[in-house]
Amino acid sequence: MSSTDIKELWRGFTAELDYAVFGAGFLVTALAVLAFAFRDEAAADLMHGINDALWVNLGWAYLLVMFVLVLFVGFLVFGPWGNITLGEDGEEPAFSFPAYFAMLYSAGIAAGIVFWGPAEAIFHFDSVSPFIGAESGTPEAAVGAIQYTFFHWGISAWTAYVVLGIPIAYYGHRYGAPLRVSTILAPWLGIDDLDRPLAKVVDVLAVFATIGGVAATLGFVGDQFLVGLEWTTGTTVGDLGTILIITGLTVAFTISVALGVKKGIRRLSYFNLALFLLLLGATFVLGPTRYIMAVGTEALGGYINQFITMSFYTGADAGTGASVSAWVGEWTVFYWAWWFSWAPFVGLFIARISRGRTVRQVAVTGVVASTGVTIPWFATMGGSAIFFQQTGQADILSVVSNLGEAGSGYPLFESMPLGGLLTAMFLVLVTTFFVTSADSSTLALGLLTTGGKREPSTINRVVWGFLIGALASLLMVTGGVDALQAAAIITGGPFAIITLLAVVSMVLAFGNRNSIFLREEDDVTVPGSKSTFDESVADD
């Protein structure tokens, strides 16, 4: 590459930036990387202190906000606003339903479902939620364990994404507003005035939330990848090796995608979903099928019957002064914050692909259909892990105590017929999810820091790939899962407020569709609307 080419790349990078948003996000992430690299103990203590203060004092707020979002999405599904088109009236959807669902689900689950699928239920089986109130290791504990995985990964998880994605899609596809998070402020600022300081603040918060969310995700799946290497080959890499491998892989995959290997990544995304379903089906058939069906059915009934009670359960003890119990803080509050931190990216992606869909179609697909696929995964993986632990076919808890949560899947699959093949499939799935997570996370940060530019520059994405890979690996080394969970809670908390703003934004827009700022007769267009938009998403 010549010096002229390098200068052109640099000019393209500097010209595309939203300096306020990029600068704030870059500065905070770089400072976090430096702090964990050179003052790891002090940085970890500070982060855990902030995390503890949040869930101790504001744990109830995470629970309350999420329940409000669930209620609102239920209203969108059954209420009169469900018929509103995210685009021109009568416009056909940009994608067929199978393609739309595959893209939406692949973006929403990230790699978390692969990491926690075999791990979470066995944790709850051993350390039972106070809400369940059963003895550890009992049949009641088994049902309660899977019931809580349904709760953590069910309709509540997907609700935050949909609530943010729908208003962005509505303003963007119907009125030509930019596809960025601050677009939800259109009722207050107007479509043509979305570059004001308040909008910048919202986009900066979106960057902060995304940084915490993707660092947690890359940390989880990176840890699972390294544990898989150790499990299958006996190779350990140490702390320095962890930092170099996770950061290097993130940057390498980012460069490969940013240089134009679009069709390969698109095919890899479909491969992920196909392998995910194949592994699910094989585990269900080769594993304890009758037990999975029995305990999964009972857990599903408990989830449906007790959903409202679980949504408001804090387990608070007057003696501690905390707003939620330690168990609720470490699990439910963490998950709710994680979903809030992922809402900017997934919400933007849902907005990109939802042109021509109705509000009801997006809500049903994003919440009901996605939950319908997620529940069988956790019933199968969680049920199998508990069954093998109870019967002595695999001591998964011992593996977890030695290798961490990332090691839970490998003894699970090895204890079944065709165990070697299933273990290899699982490791491949972990690897390919790492690739797509690195790609999607750096793309999301590129979109957020360029004002919604469709194709952020290679330099932009490499910068974010290096920073996020380094932060994820340093969090793994200094604090493991606890540090990753703390990062998600800290960065996801403030964005819960943004999701409430999105609700109010929809109420104002859908409830008064002839308002001054959104006149139906307005002819507002932006360059590269429908045809180039559809092609860009299809290429991605």
Query: In sequence order, what DSSP letters do the residues of 344-404 get, joined into one string?
Result: HHHHHHHHHH-TT-BHHHHHIIIIIIHHHHHHHHHHHHHHHHHHHHHHTS--HHHHHHHH-
- The pLDDT value recorded for residue 511 is 83
For domain 23-539, give the CATH number. 1.20.1740
> 450 phi and psi, to 5 degrees?
-120, 20
pLDDT averaged per 10 residues in sequence order, the chain, 540 residues: 67 76 83 79 79 81 95 94 89 84 74 82 91 92 96 93 94 87 90 86 85 78 79 76 80 65 61 88 94 96 96 83 84 89 86 91 92 93 93 88 80 89 86 74 78 73 82 76 72 86 93 56 40 43
Q: How far apart are CA 482 and CA 494, in angstroms?
A: 20
Q: How far apart are CA 129 and CA 133, in angstroms?
A: 7
- The pLDDT value recorded for residue 264 is 52
What residues contact residue 495 under an 8 Å CB cut-off, 6+ apart? 205, 206, 208, 209, 340, 341, 343, 344
- The pLDDT value recorded for residue 535 is 42
Is residue 43 within 8 A of residue 35, CB to CB? The reply is yes
- The pLDDT value recorded for residue 148 is 96
**Nearest one of 302, 310, 382 to 70, comparing CA atoms:** 310
pTM given for the model: 0.85
